[in-house]
Structure 1
Amino acid sequence: MTGTYHIWPITIGLIVAYIFSLAAMRLGIYRLSTHRRFWNVLLLLNFLTTVLIGTLLTLQVNYKFTLPGEDTWMLIHVDTGIAMTIIGIFHLGWHLWFFASLFHRKKKGHKKTTVTGGVIRQVEKTELSSQDIKPGKTDVLPVLSLGFTAMITQLVLLRAFVSVFQGNELVIGIILGNWMLLTGLGARLGRAAPAMKAPGNFLFSGLLWLGSLPVITLFLLFFLKNIVFIPGSLIGLFAVFLSSLVLLLPFCFLAGYAFSFYTWYLSEKYTANLTGRTYSWEAFGSLTGGFLFSFILVFLLKPFQTLGIVLLADIIVAGILVKRKQKYFKAIPWLGLTFLLVIALYVFPVDLFSIRFLHPHQKILAHQETPFGSLVVSKTGDQTNMYENHVLVANTLNPVENEEDVHYAMLQRKKPKKVLLISGGIAGTLDEILKYPIQRVDYVEINPWIIRLARKYFHLPENSKVRIIIRDARRYVPGSKEKYDVVLVNVPPPLTAQLNRYYTVDFFHALKKILTPRGVISLRLPASPNYLGKQETDINGLLYASLKKAFPYVLIVPGEKNYFLASEKPLSLKIANLVQQRGIQNKYISPYYIQDDLLQMRNEQIMDQLTPAKKLNTDMNPEGYFHQISLWLSYFRFKTQFLFIALGFLFLILIFRSRPVSIGIFAGGLAASSMEVLLLFAFQTVYGYVYLMTGMIITVFMAGIALGALSEKYFSNLAPLKNFICIELLLALGALLLPLLVILLKSIAVVPLLGQLILIVYTFIFAFLVGRLFNLGSQIQKGDVSHISSSLYSADLAGGALGALAVSAILLPLTGITGTALITAGTCLAAAGYLMGIAKNT
């Protein structure tokens, strides 16, 4: 057994979860019996897991048989034992109170007042339609505030989690999945809202908690990271899953519960089923929050300041409600306390203070939030470092990497005149290029804030030969009229779908068009010194095969990384000899350190180990991203399939326990999140990464959902269930059209405004159908409003969670846009077929 057990993450996580569980019970969100039942079930599950795995390990020791993944089983056995111990301490506290109560006289039971859940029956008697109801503005404000708060909080925390955990789309999928699952759980428990004794108090206190919890969550994320985990270590997928689950639980649970509560409260007040209307108001709040963050706040404010704006908005809404209820005396202290928190977020440098927790023993020189990620410049001794999303992207004392990044490619041609450098030029690479008698070097960088910070804290050569271009290289290269002798692609490995775009056959063909006849391109991948594992041979073999599709000559130069050179003309591996011929003075890439025969031997070893690629890495099928994810997962002993099997089992339980309409809503939620991911990826594929358009797509999607949920008059000639089935079929058709739409957009890429307009219209129509589906589901589902809203909203979020996780982590890397769209369409068709069968039988 190697490594350490997760004693601190489990202990801290369970204590925090228990505190918030207790707080939720005290707020009246659920009863004491529900609180204790949850922890009893959790204790039982940990007990059974510990016992069963312990028995298995005992048999393995006694009878000496081979147990695959023995270390993993031992890890789970000990971790569940730790969890069982902590939960056991909670239970001990319960029983100590029980024994103490034996010495006191018990009071007789108190009267229990509940609000009946017969809203649907009232609707049937009064025959009120939700369209006939016009709620007051103050009644709608809390719902709008909920959507506004949830959307901005999601965007801020998601960026923070990605930064802290050095995340990729798989990490994003895990976090979004947890977000939606926890929110769905809160919505599910919201069916107990009619039993709340003082619902008016929750309207006020719930808003203040919704505004305050994001600030607490963000601070805990920064503060606990290097306490719970070893500083500088890679954080595994299970640790990301567990950490995000614990930290997101309080806010997401409260947000989900609040939606069900507001739906019940408004429906009870107006004696009509307002589930669909509440869903649309919440979507309008989300639309406002998403637009404000994507186009304004992310450029102007830091994370804690942004959350201060959210908290201030919730305080204002809570103050309006208090004024209406005329309960100033009890409310003023709480309003004042939370307002002081808002002031503190702007007066004190909370963001800089929190960032220091992530970079211990370093002097923080600058911190900049950008649309592309979080940038931190620090100093360690004489070395200046730049981190992007907590990943080191540049430092000033690394001459080996600077020389390798440049000279392997530049030495291939006698007199290179024009050089294109794509990323990675702020820490010495440009100085290495300027050792050659070039005419000009074009340095393309996607993030302008990197250049701004580099000018202040790094050495960017002030040379007329250097031209800095702020643009995405995937957009610059196809439109460039320049011809380059050397192109240096110094981007990180394809660990995300965005980075994978620089390693595809499509990009290689685009590079080929801007090269001179003897031009050379260079890419790089991380490498082991002497042996390549399976995942490494897969990704290296894939890149080699993809380059060979565009260039007849491809050469791998082994160094601290594997450097891939490609050209239309022959390439040489005699690096030491070329350095002498060109007369370049280097510290590392020189005959004193480089031996050509050793390079040749290592090159042959690598070529012998490469796995022949069955597929190529393309924009539509990001195989490189999948292989790089596999390589990243191989660093951790936890078997990822266990997590996916457990989540799959959980979703199956949810499906089989759901009503037919909830299954349809589940499929709609899955289609919505799946298509949102696919639309973002499709836009990225066709036009390159444009952050503002990404924000626009999300904004248009939320607008479509909001308007769709408000619509009542479409397909009016059909019965509600037939209407519901028709929309499921239309969602399937929309998913099937996406691959054709991508082909169309590529064909008219020369007119980007037209293509972007088509994509926006498509996005709005698809989102409109999703919103309409939820509205219809709320009309068809039987039961009281608290059960309708909680079951449909939780089903919608569960489908969204599965879609976000499955598409980003599995389907898109494995099957590409076309395969993922087909699977999404198949899910909607299956739901429609199931509902048709139900309709026929009933």
Structure 2
Amino acid sequence: MCVHNSCADALNTHQTAGDRNSSFVRLRIFVLGFAAPLVQFVLFRELLGAYGGNEYLIGIALGFWLFFMGVGSQLARFLWRKETRGHLETWLFLVVAVLPSIAIISLRFARFHLFPEGAGVGLGPQIVVTVWGESLFCFFVGFLLARFALALSHTEAAGGIGKSYLIDSLGGIAGGLAFAFCLSWYFGHLQLTALVGFLMWGVIAWEGFRRTSSFLRVCPLLFIGSILFAALYAGERVTLSWLVPVGQVVDEARSAYGQILVSDLGGQRTYYRNGEPLFSTDTQELAELRVHFAMLSHERPKVVLVAGPMRPDVVREILRYPVEQVVAVEPDNELNRLIMRWESMREDPRVCVVNGDVRRYLATHQGECDVIVVDQPLPTTLLGNRYFTKEFAALAHKGLRKGGILAVPLGKFPEYPEPLRVRTIASVYRGFAQCFSHVRLIPADEILLLASDEPLPGDFTRAFDSRRLDTLIVRPGYFASVLTAERQKALQEMIALPEAANSDFFPLASRLQLQRWLSEYGYRFSVLEFFLLSIAMAIVSHLRRTELPLFVVSFCSAAFVYLTLLCVQILLGNVYFFTSLLVTIFMAGITVGTHMSKRLPQTAPTLLHLTLAGAFIGAAQILVVLFLHNVGMGESFSFYRVLAQVLGAVTVAAHGVMLFIMGWITGATFGVTAFVAFECPGDTSARVYTADFLGGAIASVLFATLITPILGIVWSLGGCAMAAFVVWVLLHWTH
């Protein structure tokens, strides 16, 4: 392997502190690797709340994360000859330790002032907040990783670059596991970043003590760090109160689904998850609309299933009828616990709370319900979309007894119908009409979809009078005012549109809601995509042929990880928790692949074979997704019915295996590229890291904002595999 004379001179004359103390360099790389996923998961959870839970926009956050790390690595390429004696890296290490806490405080402050409750916020301000929260931390981490890789490559040549990537991945695995199974359950987001920052300052203090053997010299650093991070740790409750626009925070809890807050304003409590309001108490009007039309449509409802948390208002309205059992299915155990603590609900043996996913409950409890009431917000996210698809309609159909009623809310009745809103209603209606013989839209203040296999009643007044109910809003006079011919005609015109059915893997309803939100602010995704594609073309034009496979593999692996997380959200509805676990599995694959890359032939054809392997894994993931979807639907095959009982474990295991393999391919490609493309230590380490980070950054944003919303998830996976295959063909064709 050839090394230019100028590079050899640089190696001889510019020795940094990291060269003489490689153990310290390795420790810093490991700690950066440990801290980066912790900060990433915390920031993504904060941003998930800022984005209103929209999973598509999380791809933008991932894209900017990788983009700024790539920019930092590229800067290290131009400074690799500069003598710093380790001082620059040390000071940056200390600064990086503080940045995550500043980012969390800034995000919460921005949400308090820029994202006020009830006010619409466009994509532009959200991107600005995302960039502010991620840019500095990611930029300096990317710079430091490239500089530390340079320090190791001085003594180990190309092997030092691969070793730095390996140590970084090992730190990431440790950080991901600690976050998923321990830290996230006991500490708030700001508390976590404060602990990480104190750990990083402690590492520098330990290095100083080992170098000088003088504890007094590091005491000032430890003293300042203790005060600084203790203050940040104590600020968790104060900054959380910023997320509650009105009232006082009276309780909080952390669960696998997010951070839950309870606020109180004059006796009315509002429940928040990740800063987004879930529901408020004392909303009898809304509860009556969602309950009584469905209950009056059934002659004698005995078992009622509520797809949502045990809201006191909803349960109270259902218990006005002589039912035998009310089952509220909500997967968030901590939310149910807080509701039971704060809501003065009288004990009733007929009420049962099930901690689990309602779709899994329906798949395993078929033919047990008379009425199903969906108590969920509009499908603005993939999590919400799970209750408005034709697949959910099929599961609800299986869960209902003969003559059972399903009630699904579709938002406020539009006095002035917007095209995108109308298309959303038509898409949801089309999906339910494919599973039920009779589907009707009720033009109340909130549109309600009723579905059944038996004819639906047309006279609610007679059913109401026979029950002798004492209600506030839903009364015979209300029926006469909303069930007019004009309003019903308007709904019939909406559902007459030839719109495709909303489904799990082609979530048309959530995509239309996203487009509707963007259209309110005159934003077009094409501007962002054009900017990113321009950057991509500029980067690709400067990549060497030996680095192009790494860019492509990183592009495909980032898209693969993002699409896998969306699949988990659709199948399990719990991407909030499984993100850290699955990304950690992916990083474990990277670690093993990087370590085993030394055993592979260090040649360009090996890179082509790895690119082709990435294409095959992308195609195989389609089969995995379709198989797991059939399991989740509770098909009649006994094998599927057995697996449906442990759907969570099966889903995580299957996706985990695929992510591990894809991570292995990515790590092996990185290691082989470091050897094949090696010329100068500083130049090579920066170029390899840049190709890796920016390939993933461009894929994350393109798939989140353009490809997945248009093609759906399954076709996007196919497109990811096809992109890798096309690049393999082109590189193979041109030798």
Tell me whether the two structures share a fold, i.e. TM-score over 0.5.
Answer: yes
| Alpha-carbon shift at residue 759 of structure 1 (Å) | 3.5
1:333 aligns with 2:220: yes
- List per-residue Cα deviations over 1:122-156 (Å, max 9, x = no partner): 79xxxxxxxxx999543311001111111100111
Q: Secondary structure at the match of 1:524?
A: strand
Aligned-partner Cα distance in 1 for 2:5–2:57: 43
Which residue of structure 1 aligns with residue 88 of structure 2? 202
Which is further off, 310-319 or 801-810?
801-810
1:806 aligns with 2:695: no
Q: Which amino acid aligns with 2:184?
A: V
Which residue of structure 1 aligns with residue 231 of structure 2? 344
Contact 1:576–1:596 (8 Å) recurs in 2:
no
Aligned-partner Cα distance in 2 for 1:237–1:611: 32
Which residue of structure 2 aligns with residue 768 of structure 1? 664
Aligned-partner Cα distance in 1 for 2:572–2:265: 39
Any residues of structure 2 matched to 1:390-789 within 5 Å, and which?
Answer: 390-481=275-366, 483-595=368-480, 598-610=483-495, 612-686=497-571, 689=574, 693-716=578-601, 720-745=603-628, 746=630, 749=640, 750-751=642-643, 752=646, 756-789=652-685
Aligned-partner Cα distance in 2 for 1:456–1:650: 53
For the structure 1 residues 272 and 555, does the alpha-carbon distance in structure 2 shift closer, same or farther, using more than 3 Å as the test?
A: closer
Q: Which amino acid aligns with 2:229?
A: V
TM-score by length of 1: 0.80
When the two chains are superposed, the root-mean-square deviation of aligned CA atoms in Å is 2.6
Q: Which amino acid aligns with 2:121?
A: I
For the structure 1 residues 135 and 283, does the alpha-carbon distance in structure 2 shift closer, same or farther, using more than 3 Å as the test?
A: farther
| Alpha-carbon shift at residue 828 of structure 1 (Å) | 1.1
Contact 1:707–1:768 (8 Å) recurs in 2:
yes
Which one of the candidate residues 61, 80, 99 is aligned to 1:175?
A: 61
Aligned-partner Cα distance in 2 for 1:428–1:754: 36
Which residue of structure 1 aligns with residue 161 of structure 2? 275
Q: Which amino acid aligns with 1:527?
A: K
- List per-residue Cα deviations over 1:37-67 (Å, max 9, x = no partner): xxxxxxxxxxxxxxxxxxxxxxxxxxxxxxx
| Alpha-carbon shift at residue 336 of structure 1 (Å) | 2.3
Which one of the candidate residues 268, 271, 289 is aligned to 2:175?
A: 289
For the structure 1 residues 354 and 561, does the alpha-carbon distance in structure 2 shift closer, same or farther, using more than 3 Å as the test?
A: same
Contact 2:529–2:702 (8 Å) recurs in 1:
no
For the structure 1 residues 794 and 604, does the alpha-carbon distance in structure 2 shift closer, same or farther, using more than 3 Å as the test?
A: same
Contact 2:390–2:434 (8 Å) recurs in 1:
yes
Aligned-partner Cα distance in 2 for 1:166–1:287: 29
TM-score by length of 2: 0.91
Unaligned runs of 5+ in 2: 13-18, 632-638
Q: Which amino acid aligns with 1:151?
A: P
Contact 2:413–2:444 (8 Å) recurs in 1:
no
1:118 aligns with 2:3: no
Which residue of structure 1 aligns with residue 16 of structure 2? none
Contact 1:495–1:628 (8 Å) recurs in 2:
yes
For the structure 1 residues 737 and 165, does the alpha-carbon distance in structure 2 shift closer, same or farther, using more than 3 Å as the test?
A: closer
Q: Which amino acid aligns with 1:548?
A: A
Between Structure 1 and Structure 2, whose CA radius of gyration is higher? 1
Contact 2:73–2:142 (8 Å) recurs in 1:
yes
| Alpha-carbon shift at residue 629 of structure 1 (Å) | 1.6
Q: Secondary structure at the match of 2:586?
A: helix
Which one of the candidate residues 199, 223, 231 is aligned to 2:109?
A: 223
Contact 1:189–1:257 (8 Å) recurs in 2:
yes
- List per-residue Cα deviations over 1:13-35 (Å, max 9, x = no partner): xxxxxxxxxxxxxxxxxxxxxxx
> Which structure 1 residue ranges, 4+ long, deviate > 6 Å from structure 2?
120-123
Aligned-partner Cα distance in 2 for 1:527–1:273: 62
Q: Secondary structure at the match of 2:300?
A: coil
Which is further off, 336-345 or 280-289?
336-345
| Alpha-carbon shift at residue 689 of structure 1 (Å) | 3.7
- How many residues are aligned here? 712
Which is further off, 790-799 or 183-192?
790-799
Which residue of structure 1 aligns with residue 196 of structure 2? 310
Aligned-partner Cα distance in 2 for 1:116–1:337: 46
Which is further off, 666-675 or 522-531?
522-531
Contact 2:707–2:716 (8 Å) recurs in 1:
yes
Contact 2:33–2:169 (8 Å) recurs in 1:
yes
Q: Secondary structure at the match of 2:405?
A: strand
Contact 1:163–1:373 (8 Å) recurs in 2:
no
Contact 1:315–1:335 (8 Å) recurs in 2:
yes
Contact 1:148–1:287 (8 Å) recurs in 2:
yes
For the structure 1 residues 620 and 232, does the alpha-carbon distance in structure 2 shift closer, same or farther, using more than 3 Å as the test?
A: closer
Aligned-partner Cα distance in 1 for 2:93–2:188: 22
For the structure 1 residues 189 and 690, does the alpha-carbon distance in structure 2 shift closer, same or farther, using more than 3 Å as the test?
A: closer
Which residue of structure 1 aligns with residue 635 of structure 2? none
Which residue of structure 2 aligns with residue 824 of structure 1? 720
For the structure 1 residues 837 and 573, does the alpha-carbon distance in structure 2 shift closer, same or farther, using more than 3 Å as the test?
A: same
For the structure 1 residues 134 and 616, does the alpha-carbon distance in structure 2 shift closer, same or farther, using more than 3 Å as the test?
A: farther
Aligned-partner Cα distance in 1 for 2:620–2:133: 39
Q: Which amino acid aligns with 1:627?
A: L
Q: Secondary structure at the match of 2:387?
A: helix
For the structure 1 residues 630 and 310, does the alpha-carbon distance in structure 2 shift closer, same or farther, using more than 3 Å as the test?
A: same
Which is further off, 445-454 or 387-396?
387-396
For the structure 1 residues 833 and 636, does the alpha-carbon distance in structure 2 shift closer, same or farther, using more than 3 Å as the test?
A: same
- List per-residue Cα deviations over 1:777-808 (Å, max 9, x = no partner): 11122432222222222222222122222333
Which residue of structure 2 aligns with residue 233 of structure 1? 119
- List per-residue Cα deviations over 1:444-496 (Å, max 9, x = no partner): 01111111211222344421100000001121110115511100111222222
Contact 2:101–2:232 (8 Å) recurs in 1:
no
